[in-house]
């Protein structure tokens, strides 16, 4: 089992985003029932409601720390994405991992490998105008789905960033779409 490095502190104690990341991303039950935190363990499949709850928790912790925490979720870059709800018209904000591609941002609608698209993706399909907060900077963006050819070029970089994307694609019946935010 790998040793977990000491957690950096934020003004509200240990880094809550790191704790959340470690608990949800690298945790897997050993036969004894204990959780191990090695990157070689198989990730537990989370149900859609659990993923939504963790997203809300992540966003709440981000707000609690005043948005001043590092933009990384554990060791992964994330941003806050605000879309317009396709049913309600209300603004919806959720944390998403991203890949910087020159000045554009690439986001993955993986939803943890579940067979449904995440709500933020469906919202962007309906209304591609959105806002993001990346490294404390607010930006208005326009979303478009990447073509299969574009995905083939970008996918290896995403898997290098977060290897679980490959597991997600294997466990779902849908083709996981990528969105380019310009």
Predicted confidence at residue 181, as pLDDT, reads 98
Coil, helix or strand at residue 159:
helix
The domains of the chain, with CATH numbers, are 12-181 (2.30.110.10)
Burial degree of 6 (CB within 10 A; 0-12, 13-18, 19+): exposed
Gap between the Cα atoms of 72 and 92, Å rounded: 21
Predicted confidence at residue 25, as pLDDT, reads 43
Gap between the Cα atoms of 63 and 136, Å rounded: 12
Q: Which residues of the chain have pLDDT under 50?
A: 1-41, 70-73
Predicted confidence at residue 113, as pLDDT, reads 87
**pTM attached to this predicted model:** 0.67
Coil, helix or strand at residue 124:
helix
């Amino acid at each position: 089992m790998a040793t977990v490095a000491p957690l950096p502190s934020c003004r509200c104690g240990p880094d809550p985003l790191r704790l959340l990341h470690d608990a949800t991303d690298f945790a897997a039950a050993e036969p004894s029932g204990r959780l191990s935190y090695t990157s070689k363990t198989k990730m537990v499949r989370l149900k859609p409601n659990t993923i939504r709850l963790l997203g809300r928790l992540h966003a709440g912790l981000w707000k609690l720390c005043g948005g001043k925490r590092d933009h990384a979720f554990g060791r992964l870059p994330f941003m806050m994405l605000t879309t317009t709800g396709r049913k309600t018209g209300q603004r919806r904000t959720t944390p998403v991992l991203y890949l910087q591609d020159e000045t554009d941002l690439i986001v993955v609608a993986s939803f943890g490998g579940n067979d449904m698209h995440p709500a933020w993706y469906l919202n962007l399909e309906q209304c591609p105008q959105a806002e993001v907060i990346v490294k404390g900077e607010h930006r208005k963006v326009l979303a478009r789905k990447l073509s299969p050819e574009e995905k083939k070029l970008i996918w290896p970089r995403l898997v290098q960033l977060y290897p679980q994307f490959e597991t997600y694609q294997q466990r779902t019946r849908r083709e996981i779409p990528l969105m380019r935010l310009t």
